[in-house]
Structure 1
Amino acid sequence: TSSAVESEARTPFGLIKGHAYSVTGIEEVSYRGRQVRLIRIRNPWGQVEWNGPWSDNSPEWRSVSPSEQKRLSQAARDDGEFWMKFEDFKVHFDKVEICNLTPDALEDNTAHKWEVTIHQGSWVRGATAGGCRNFLETFWTNPQIKLHLTEKDDGEDDCTFIAALMQKGRRKLKKLGAEMLTIGYSIYESPGRDGHLGKDFFRYHPSKARSKTYINLREVSNRFKLPPGDYVLIPTTFEPHQEADFCLRIFSEKKAITEDLDENVAIDLPEPLHPTPNPQETEEEKQFRALFEQISGKDMEISAEELEYVLNAVLKKTKNIKFKNLSIISCRNIISLMDTSGNGKLEFNEFKVFWEKMKKWISIFLQFDFDKSGSMSSYELRGALKAAGYQLNNYLLQLIVLRYSDEQFQIEFDDFLNCLIRLENASRVFQALSVKSKEFINLNIGE
């Protein structure tokens, strides 16, 4: 084989560079009083063969008895299959890949079957395409698969398994100019808790095993032996932000149990705050009341249009956050969330409760704006939403990232605020309707 530039070029010996051949047999033959090691190779094209020593019509066969030739099924046919000397094989070929047909394919003739588990997943840009461990800030966001190794190999102290990671659909996408992505995986000892592992775990814990290399092949597979226990496997692309679907297969000699380390969807919101009179208003509150009175007029109630003006005026003066604009639709959603009287407007106390809520959201946003750029990486959204009371699975996170992040995988505060408003509105409705169960609701046509 040779470089991609010379791929599929024919050599003077009849071999095709960059071509994948199959090994179909190995034998020793008696030749002029000594044993010669031969290997049988097949060109999958079914034609074009090796023309060196021990090829179909080479003179070496004249010194081999007819019975030996019959035993080796030697015949001069242009069928793509040929014999060559093992030493020549080592000279002309530089890579051999072995397919593990069974756990003991290379050890004995006893038939064994693999135990197989299969996981389908995706790397989604901005959400679960975190790249390899070199990119710690996003590595933890990759899909995580928990592996339970419980049964030792017969007569051994360890458990044998093969992890095979395949990127799906890339050959089809090649017609559109897409190349194979560089993929691999790392295996960590599980800390013994459920749920998606965070950034700090990978900061302080080294991997127990990993694929030999990151490479742009359709599938990467390696055989491992690890002590019984729980492990977490992280399949990744080498670079972050690269999208693809993948299939991870775990082949084990004994039964192994695998599961996706995804979060269960859960809502942990405090009871809605009720306004309480504060005899000593802060300077900030005095400014808000003055602005509120100025906008609302004598009725001391703010409509969606007036709320839009108030919030945009305040948030544009807030330091350390990037903010574009809150739309009228967002403000109607805020009123829907905070309007306890049902008149479609916000009274000052309702607005004050909302402002306390928004100050908490601003604090969370600044906490997860790690580079202090004024915007938050979409990869940090999982942690930010959890701090706000929303534990979401990968699928929901991917949908939210697609909706609210920009092309640079950044989320500005107005998009973060819109996301939280919609989540809280949906959550409050769900909580109101889930009388008997916290996981399901039943709706009639009116609801």
Structure 2
Amino acid sequence: MPYTPSGFFCDRLIRERERRDGEGSLNKPVRFNGQDYNTLRQECLQRKGLFEDDSFPATVESLGFKELGHKSNKVKNIVWKRPKEICENPQFIVGGASRTDICQGDLGDCWLLAAIACLTLNEKLLYRVVPQEQSYSENYAGIFHFQFWRYGDWVDVVIDDRIPTFNNQLVFTKSAERNEFWSALLEKAYAKLHGSYEALKGGNTTEAMEDFTGGVTEFYEMKEAPKELYKIMKKALARGSLMGCSIDSLVPARFETRTVTGLVKGHAYSVTAVEECKPSQQKDNKVRLVRLRNPWGQVEWNGPWSDNSKEWATISKVEKDKLQHQSAEDGEFWMSFEDFKKNYTKIEICNLTPDALEDDKIHKWTVSVNEGRWVRGCSAGGCRNYPDTFWTNPQYRLRLLEEDDDPDDNEVVCTFVVALMQKNRRKERKMGANLFTIGFAIYEVPKEMHGNKQHMQKDFFLFNSSKARSKSYINLREVTQRFRLSPGEYVIIPSTYEPHQEGEFILRVFSEKRNTSEEIENRIEADHPVPAPASAGEESEEDQQFRTIFQEIAGDDMEITANELKNVLNRVITKHKDLSTEGFSLESCRSMIALMDVSFMDGTGRLNLQEFRHLWNKIKQWQGIFKDYDADQSGSINSYEMRNAVNDAVMCLMSRSGFRLNNQLYDIITMRYANENMNIDFDSFISCLVRLEAMFRAFQAFDQDGDGTIRLSVLEWLQLTMYA
């Protein structure tokens, strides 16, 4: 959903400052909703009361907004209870956290539970997400906390332990042990992170896997899987990667339905082991097996190597013990790797680093993370199918500086993984948000343009094809792909498939060797503006008309106020029938006077004839540029062209070229000055340029040592912003 300029950009500045201070790391996670676990827990212990979380209360609002909302019959009999009200001797973890502690309840979040089951296989990862030393005995205060990776930062989420129940049974995730609650509380913390339990309905296992690890995920379609898939899976598990799989359901009506073999379509499974065994009747050949788990905690595969199948009789007790074989309806089962490939359609592997899928050598991958957003009318250009707007998407310059150590076929290449993730769409479901269809394209930058940080223009993309691109545009939270390209300079264009779709994203680039990745136009730069000289020579007829009108309105003191300036300009501008404008507003004219006041904040608030002539020369120059971009002569310009129009207009006032804004400022300009149809009329165009130049002049007046930074008191800041 759209953000206000102040909200989005203030949040961004805060995040950047937090990163500089170490906030967001594993050792210093961001406090979600500003809640500090240790402080809140100590307060509860001191007052001898149990924590109640006002930011995620035990009410319908925390359950959901539609199927679990106020109007739903499902929520009428739900009672929130603490574990001590549900059973005797509740425990946070009983006998160690294991995959059997996760049984799905009445919520379609199998994707999340499959990821939790994978998490239990790696104790180090598990206890990053589920901090230890939490219990229902020592210093119990009804408060718990969990940690998740959230769009580049680790966040610590605090919850109370009130859980939804029906007839004294947990409604959602539960453990096979009735008195064990870590998995139910983890689900609650994840629901809080996304706004409600209902927000967790439906998803992709990789989403939760990445939120548990900060890793990067790669997909394999079984029909296109590499020959060495078994080796890849075994190696990935050995290196701590999380792994899930599913069977596509092409018919929505058959979503999550059981097949005759006991497998469920449209349902997420965890891959919990990959092993080999040697049946006694076979001399040399080993059987490759895969162990999977259904988050339901029941409903299992009934084919070869299932719990009670005849195949188990062909191997020794030692082999059975090694494979931890047991006949129990717990949702976990073995099957042969061949049957696995035949029955499942997709596998996803979340790696802490991308080297888990490569050769046996362990590489140290570098990663760069860039935050960005698509803004309707400015930087939401859509895919390459929309050439008029595609070029306006955010652009990221990638420099591949060193080739791989062990290239194949003696090629000089750089291996890297691009991961484009859209942000906050799940949390905004209650406002109607769905996942966008997203993807990206990679273009090689010509050598003559290396080091040039300018935004690539429309013509570049019209006459150059992409060097690589994401396999497809798809409505997943993240699109990831591995590439091998020659060392050099490239530009990555992330986009939604359709233009005008507004949202935030992060772009991560993992590479085996050193690379740099940064957003183009990430700095605001400008040479010092120098007022354009007044035109020499005889006055034109228009100048004479202005002098006459000016004298008529100004009176004997030959100065005009903002209201008088409005009358002067609008008497002339109405003669230009080719401009779409209702005339200059009083606010616009006040800004113009602020711009022309030589001493800025200590000016008179009026214009004399010389200042007025100077202002009119500016307006005439800007009017010519406006008409150049008004190609269809509609009297307004498209907001996507505003970027170039602003640059052209301001460069007219520079003593030399070098003016450059950043993408965030273009976003602000569009949101501030474009109308609901994403068009900008002449008055808005002039108002934008007046404000932009005035603020630059003010900044430079304060920046006396020319180092590009200024320090203002609150009073100076208010004087500056209120007057301009």
Normalised by the size of structure 1, how large is the TM-score? Answer: 0.90
Aligned to 2:592: 334
1:125-175 C-alpha deviation (Å, 9 max, x unpaired): 222222212222222222222222122111322111111111122222223
Secondary structure of 1:97's aligned partner: strand
Distance 2:528 2:579 in 1: 24
Aligned to 1:54: 305
Q: What is the letter of the counterpart of residue 410 of structure 1?
A: N
1:360-396 C-alpha deviation (Å, 9 max, x unpaired): 1111112223443221122222211211225211222
Aligned to 2:615: 354
Which moves more between the two structures, 240-249 or 256-265?
256-265
Percent identical among aligned pairs is: 52
Distance 1:344 1:68 in 2: 91
Q: What CA RMSD, in Å, does the superposition of the two structures yield over aligned residues?
A: 2.7
Aligned to 1:146: 397
Q: What is the letter of the counterpart of residue 133 of structure 1?
A: R
Asked whether 1:178 is paired with 2:433, we answer yes
Asked whether 1:165 is paired with 2:412, we answer no
Distance 1:424 1:134, change over 3 A: same
Contact 1:182 1:216 in 2 (8 A): yes
Aligned to 1:240: 499
Deviation at 1:424, TM superposition (A): 1.9
Aligned to 2:444: 189
Deviation at 1:110, TM superposition (A): 4.1
Secondary structure of 2:297's aligned partner: coil
Asked whether 1:291 is paired with 2:549, we answer yes
Secondary structure of 1:121's aligned partner: strand
1:88-132 C-alpha deviation (Å, 9 max, x unpaired): 333322222344455543454444332222222222222222221
Secondary structure of 1:83's aligned partner: strand
Q: What is the letter of the counterpart of residue 259 of structure 2?
A: T
Contact 2:354 2:417 in 1 (8 A): no
Asked whether 1:387 is paired with 2:654, we answer no
Contact 1:181 1:237 in 2 (8 A): yes
Distance 1:267 1:316, change over 3 A: farther
Secondary structure of 1:391's aligned partner: coil
The answer to which structure, 1 or 2, has the higher relative contact order (CA under 8 A, 6+ apart) is: 1
Q: What is the letter of the counterpart of residue 382 of structure 1?
A: R
Contact 2:550 2:609 in 1 (8 A): yes
Which moves more between the two structures, 77-86 or 290-299?
290-299
Aligned to 2:606: 345
Normalised by the size of structure 2, how large is the TM-score? Answer: 0.57
Q: What is the letter of the counterpart of residue 239 of structure 1?
A: E
Secondary structure of 2:279's aligned partner: strand
Q: Among 665, 673, 679, which residue is 1:410 paired with?
A: 679
Distance 1:26 1:367, change over 3 A: farther
Contact 2:438 2:479 in 1 (8 A): yes
Contact 1:151 1:159 in 2 (8 A): yes
Deviation at 1:298, TM superposition (A): 5.2
Structure 1's unaligned 5+ residue stretches are: none
Distance 1:216 1:276 in 2: 57
Q: What is the letter of the counterpart of residue 500 of structure 2?
A: H
Deviation at 1:214, TM superposition (A): 0.7
Q: What is the letter of the counterpart of residue 142 of structure 1?
A: N
Distance 1:102 1:230 in 2: 23
Structure 2's unaligned 5+ residue stretches are: 1-247, 651-658, 720-724
Distance 2:594 2:551 in 1: 21
Distance 1:285 1:227, change over 3 A: same
Distance 1:187 1:38 in 2: 39
Secondary structure of 1:376's aligned partner: strand
Q: Among 250, 256, 269, which residue is 1:21 paired with?
A: 269
Distance 1:118 1:45, change over 3 A: farther
Secondary structure of 2:428's aligned partner: helix
Contact 2:275 2:323 in 1 (8 A): no
Q: How does 1:112-123 map to 2 (within 5 A)?
A: 112-123=363-374
Aligned to 2:484: 225
Which moves more between the two structures, 30-39 or 380-389?
30-39
Contact 1:164 1:250 in 2 (8 A): yes
Q: What is the letter of the counterpart of residue 402 of structure 1?
A: M
Asked whether 1:432 is paired with 2:684, we answer no
Specify which structure has the higher proportion of helix.
2
Aligned to 1:252: 511
Which moves more between the two structures, 281-290 or 164-173?
281-290
